[in-house]
A and B are shown apart, each in its own frame.
Chain A
Amino acid sequence: MAWLDTVVQGVLLGGLYALFATGLSLIFGVMRLVNLAHGDFSILAAFLAVVAVGASGLNPLLSLVVVAPLMAVLGYGLQWLVLDRLLGRGVLPAVLVTFGFSVIIQNGLLETFSADSRRLNPGGIETASLPLGGGLAVGWFPLLTFVVAVALLGGLQLLIGRTAIGRAFRATSDDGGTAALMGIDTRRVHGLAMALSLAIVAVAGIFLGIRTTFTFSSGPDRLLFAFEAVIIGGLGSLWGTLVGGVILGVAQTVGAKLSPGWGVLAGHLVFLAVLLLRPAGLFAPSRRVDT
């Protein structure tokens, strides 16, 4: 029973990882851009929530209403002013510039908020649990996180699959030059993709900050887990990302149960195993595997 509980926790944790992974995979899909500061942006959002909560006494979950749009605007602006210039110049500029962002954000957070670890307090929901019968109970909050993750993923899938802007995303991802010939402003599409990515990662960051403590340097690990979830699930598949996140989450919780220091490492090892055995990921659509 204890194992089942561990696995369930891992599954729910996977929902959070899928949230982190979605933003990363979205901009990679649309622009072939890997944002090395992805995790740091989520932590930035968490700290913004700290400020919002401190200033207004709002519940951190409600602070999302302010923080997510703010991060979206930031994403649009960064893409428009800086990142768009780097597309089409090869891999190096984008890697270096987003790495530079990562350094700037982390050290900016360090300067502003010191090295103290923080946590967002939603007033008790994070410790409440829901009994499922048979002696099994799940935390309300992890369950909520998972539900939110699935809802956001579903919403994104609908957006991309059924709307005009979704078609624009896909067309731009296929062939930016021809997309422009359709009347699509690809620069705006890139900006929107980045805005969406940062908004989603803001949600992820705040949920993370409620679930556990975080510091200025918590970003890079988020990036790694997001990356691993995307690769395990397979590039180009949103639901694959969810499964990838779940597999990673379960690997980590099971690993941690076996030996406390081995949780994260177990995740890395599962990731490496998938990479060696099935490099395209578990659910990759046959079309695109490579950058």
Chain B
Amino acid sequence: MSLLAVRDLSARYGDFQALFGVSLEAAEGELVAVIGANGAGKSTLLRALAGAIPSSRGAVELGGRSVSGLPAETLVGLGMVLVPEGRKIFPSLTVEENLQVGAYRGRPGPWTLERVHALFPVLRERRAEPGTNLSGGEQQMLAIGRGLMANPRLLLVDEISLGLAPLVIRRLYEVLDAIRAEGTTLVVVEQDVSQVLAVAQRVYCLRKGAVSLEGVPAQLGRAQIAAAYFGT
């Protein structure tokens, strides 16, 4: 059963069109990877799904219910949560408060401060510091933790590997896989293809705002992916 069904999604920034009729699906409990080069429209796709691009057009269904055109804050209440590109930690809030604000909508579910602390112990150690005091990798953990505090049905994760060391990235992907195993569905946008394909059940490749390849990672060859990625 598809938790997320997207049909013909288009989005523009002013005069510039970034997405051209993208369609994708994510089944409950899946981790779907969206890969593509810089500027392919991956972040735009997630932002449009999360309600951050009001001008986007297309049909989006969450759990069989249409959520097209709903504003971001409403979508969080329905269980669609975005971990944004660049972390976007609130500088005026402490680590703890950043986590607490993730739970603003008060959606019931398994994720609590204690569970997030268990997942990322550094967040308990540095709970009283301003959120932006953390290192890049720690901020990414905070951003993911903040997203989890909203108890999402569907977690959209945008480019977590930017600027991080490979070891840190690998650890983060282990966490994402663990989150998936607990029942959350994930759509993960990523430039670092190998890391994400190791944990994804399905992959979409975007090129110039349109889907250039779709399939199960194990069944796709490297050359095939490279061709879809770069457009050769």
Contact = CB atoms under 8 A, between A and B. Distances in A.
Question: In the complex, are there CB atoms of A and B closer than 8 Å?
Answer: yes
A173 interface: yes
Interface residues of B, number: 24
Contacts of A171: 90, 92-93, 101
Interface string A157-171: 000000010011011
A180 B92 contact: no
Contacts of B26: none
Nearest to B88: A178
Interface stretch (A20-28, A128-136, A181-189): A181-189
B104 interface: yes
B64 interface: no
A182 B52 contact: no
Given A170-B93, A171-B93, A171-B101, A178 B73 contact: no
B104 A180 contact: no
Contacts of A183: 72-73, 76-77, 104-105, 150
B72 A181 contact: yes
A89 interface: no
A168 B104 contact: yes
A261 B91 CA distance: 45
B104 A164 contact: yes
Interface of A: 164, 167-168, 170-171, 173-175, 177-186, 287
Interface of B: 50-52, 71-73, 76-77, 81-82, 84, 88, 90-93, 97, 100-102, 104-105, 146, 150
30 contacts: A164-B101, A167-B93, A167-B97, A167-B100, A171-B93, A171-B101, A174-B91, A174-B92, A174-B93, A178-B84, A179-B90, A180-B51, A180-B71, A180-B72, A181-B52, A181-B88, A182-B73, A182-B102, A182-B104, A182-B105, A182-B146, A183-B72, A183-B104, A183-B105, A184-B73, A184-B101, A184-B104, A185-B73, A186-B73, A287-B92
